Amino acid sequence: MKIHSNFTQHQSGFSLVEMAIVLAIVALLLGGLLPTISGQIEQQRRNETRKQLEEVKESLFGFAISKGYLPCPASQVNGIEDRNGGTLQCNNRVGFLPSATLGVNRTDGWGRLLHYSVTPAFSTASGVFSTSTPGDITIKNLDGSILSNYIPTVVLSHGVNGIYGTLESGTTISPLAPNTYPNVANQQTNANTTGTTFFSSDPITRTANDDENFDDIVVWISPNILINRMVSAGRLP
Q: Summarize pLDDT for 30-54 with one digit per residue, the tens.
A: 666 666 666 788 889 999 999 999 9
- Cα-Cα end-to-end distance for the chain: 103
SS3 148: strand
Average pLDDT rounded to a whole number, residues 136-159: 94
Q: How far is residue 97's CA from residue 35's CA, in Å, rounded to a whole number?
A: 33
pLDDT value of residue 17: 75
Q: How far is residue 166's CA from residue 186's CA, in Å, rounded to a whole number?
A: 17
Instruction: Pick the range with the lowest mean pLDDT from 66-70, 71-75, 206-210, 233-237.
Output: 206-210
Domain count along the chain: 1
pLDDT at residue 94 greater than cutoff 50 = yes
- What domain range includes position 141? 2-232
Strand duo 137-140 + 197-199: pairing: parallel
The CA–CA distances, whole Å, from 220 to 54, 139, 155, 227 equal 9, 9, 6, 14
pLDDT at residue 7 greater than cutoff 50 = no
Among residues of the chain, what percentage have pLDDT more than 70?
82
Does any domain span residue 187?
A: yes
For the stretch 159-216, pLDDT in tens is 988 889 999 999 998 876 555 565 688 888 999 889 999 999 865 555 544 556 788 9
pLDDT at residue 2 greater than cutoff 60 = no
Average pLDDT rounded to a whole number, residues 60-69: 96
Does any domain span residue 180?
A: yes
| Mean of the per-residue pLDDT values of the chain | 86
pTM, entire model: 0.80
What pLDDT band is residue 99 in, cutting at 50, 70 and 90? very high
Strand duo 115-118 + 153-157: pairing: antiparallel
Does any domain span residue 237?
A: no
Does any domain span residue 214?
A: yes
Does any domain span residue 168?
A: yes
